[in-house]
Amino acid sequence: MGQERLDNANPVLFDSKPRHRPVTGTERDESVEDPIDSWEIFDLIRDINDPEHPYTLEQLNVVQEELIKVFIDEEETFVKVNFTPTIPHCSMATLIGLAIRVKLLRCLHPKVKVAVSITPGSHSTEESINRQLADKVWG
């Protein structure tokens, strides 16, 4: 059998963030609506497995809480996730983006709008991949 060629044979691994964050008094109060925030979104996608390695997207630093934005107004909630492939020519970038999107669509309320894109400057074909991912934005 032929040897499978990996895009990134030796990825750098990063420490995982703590699982729990401090909870405020209003978050404990069931009568107060708790809006979605970047930490909650990060917690949903951090354990997605990389398609090429036996590691999570968090361990590979592909997803980071700092690259997640949540916009909330009276009309809608919009979640924007940027992700950073481990190498600039990662052939799995589109698949990773779609995996993030599907995970969020399955976990969030159907009215929440989700956009996923590559972190600017982190991939050689980011415009093409972002166009592919944007075709799926409102689906």
Burial class, 38, CB count within 10 angstroms (exposed 0-12 / middle 13-18 / buried 19+): middle
pLDDT of residue 4: 63
Picking from 44, 135, 56, 129, the residue whose alpha carbon sits closest to that of residue 95 is 129
37-41 average pLDDT score? 95
Question: For the domain bounded by 35-134, which CATH number is listed?
Answer: 3.30.300.130
State residue 138's pLDDT score. 46
CB-based contact 66:37 (threshold 8 Å) = no
Q: Is the pLDDT of residue 3 over 60?
A: no
Q: What's the rounded mean pLDDT across residues 105-130?
A: 95
User: Which has more confidence, 107 or 19?
Assistant: 107
Which pTM was predicted? 0.85
Q: What is the mean pLDDT of residues 32-55?
A: 92
The span from the CA of 62 to the CA of 69, in Å, is: 15
Higher-confidence position of 129 and 19: 129
Q: Note the pLDDT tens digit of each residue in 127-138.
A: 999 999 987 544
pLDDT in tens, 68-100: 999 998 889 999 999 999 999 999 999 999 999
